């Protein structure tokens, strides 16, 4: 592909994808991002002199802007990362999630449809709209349940999950109704470099380094499948190139871990990489009141992706987590820039009193 429009490319997963797209010379890349609290252009600073990278600040809900960008750059694909993505924030302020994840996706689909319909027959055949979603749309599993497959019925349990489920349904409908050549990926929990430190892994790493309490919801036995972000980006690009139009592909790290085990593993790594005399970072673990509607377990079956497209994750949980801790240890300047007063206010609001 010559040109890709990436939406939400200044966020965690989107920025990692944009960096890899340019490092690997996948395509000329246009990055459309609203720059909310989780978007950070510092992550993409190394692309400042790249003539085949273009950043545009704007909202996917701005159909006029999206239409202009599509007409100007004539991309062969759109990869939609743009989303509000933090469950706790969706509980506190669900309206933002509906506007971005549902209404924004609708506006992006509409602009994409009109653009696609204007293309020549050959270019219409080549065009792809890839929508990046989450395993949370499938709901919650019990400990003995089989992992989510692409056929698992949707059963979202949080405003965030419901907004992503709605977006997924819109993408499916635009393929079946209008013929728009869509692809959808549903991933498990990502971790790795450049993740905004409101999420479990970076929050734990940074609190451990600073000697602060390591908050764990409930009994710490909520289970997630953990996917290293670079493995996710490789999978997305593979689906973009080789995925069957109209299909959904689950992407997982095949690394189910309880939250308590995740935090304990981080503590062990920090003990090795940043030791303190006569101190174990696991002593900072603090159990707090669970969040409302906290899903017990997610697990992804990614057999379809592996069988049909030959994808394999390069990192297991131990190697990926080691790389992640090392990255945060060596990028304190990036961390300081994203942890603004607004971030500190949110951490106080979400965790105090629990």
- Which residues does the annotation mark as catalytic? 135-136, 160
* DSSP H stretches of helix in 118-228: 121-126, 159-178, 200-209
Residue 343 burial by Cβ neighbours in a 10 Å radius (0-12, 13-18, 19+): middle
Nearest Cα residue to 138 out of 248, 60, 246: 248
Burial 46-64 (b: 16+ CB within 10 A, else e): ebeeeeebbbbebbbbbbe
Phi, psi for 133 (deg, rounded to 5)? -125, -160
Q: Which two tokens stand for residue 83?
A: 């989303």
How far apart, in whole angstroms, are the C-alpha atoms of residue 336 and residue 181?
41
How far apart, in whole angstroms, are the C-alpha atoms of residue 46 and residue 354?
40
Residue 80 burial by Cβ neighbours in a 10 Å radius (0-12, 13-18, 19+): buried
Residues 6+ apart with CB under 8 A from 253: 188, 225, 226, 227, 228, 231, 300, 313, 315, 316, 317, 320
Phi and psi based region of residue 29 (left: phi greater than 0; alpha: psi -120 to 50; beta: remaining): beta
- What is the DSSP-derived secondary structure letter of residue 276? B
């Amino acid at each position: 592909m010559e040109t890709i429009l990436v939406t939400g490319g200044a966020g965690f997963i989107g920025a990692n994808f944009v960096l890899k797209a340019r490092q690997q010379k996948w395509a000329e890349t246009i990055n459309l991002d609203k720059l909310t609290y989780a978007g950070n252009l510092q992550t993409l600073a190394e692309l400042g002199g790249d003539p085949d990278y273009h950043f545009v600040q704007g909202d996917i809900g701005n159909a006029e802007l999206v239409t202009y960008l599509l007409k100007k750059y004539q991309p062969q694909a759109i990869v939609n990362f743009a989303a509000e993505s933090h469950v706790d924030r969706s509980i506190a302020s669900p309206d933002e999630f509906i506007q971005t994840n549902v209404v924004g996706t609708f506006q992006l689909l509409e602009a994409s449809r009109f653009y696609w319909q204007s293309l020549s027959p050959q270019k219409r055949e080549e065009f792809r709209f890839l929508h990046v979603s989450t395993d949370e749309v499938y709901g919650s599993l019990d400990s003995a349940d089989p992992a989510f497959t692409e056929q698992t019925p949707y059963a979202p349990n949080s405003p965030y999950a419901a907004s992503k489920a709605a977006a997924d349904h819109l993408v499916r409908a635009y393929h079946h109704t209008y013929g728009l050549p869509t692809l959808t990926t549903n991933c498990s929990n990502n971790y790795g470099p450049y993740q905004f430190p409101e999420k479990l892994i970076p929050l734990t790493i940074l609190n451990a380094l600073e000697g602060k309490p390591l908050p764990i919801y409930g009994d710490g036995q909520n289970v997630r499948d953990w996917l290293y972000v670079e493995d996710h980006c490789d999978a997305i690009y593979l689906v973009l190139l080789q995925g069957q139009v109209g299909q959904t592909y689950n992407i997982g790290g095949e690394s189910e871990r309880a939250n308590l085990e995740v935090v304990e593993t981080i503590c062990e790594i920090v003990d090795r990489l940043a030791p303190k005399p006569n101190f174990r970072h696991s002593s900072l673990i603090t159990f707090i009141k669970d969040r409302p509607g906290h899903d017990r377990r997610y697990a992804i079956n990614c057999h379809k992706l592996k069988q049909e497209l030959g994808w394999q994750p390069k990192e297991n949980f131990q190697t990926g987590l080691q790389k992640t801790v090392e990255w945060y240890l060596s990028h304190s300047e990036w961390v300081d820039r994203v942890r603004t007063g607004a971030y500190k206010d949110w951490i106080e609001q979400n965790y105090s009193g629990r």
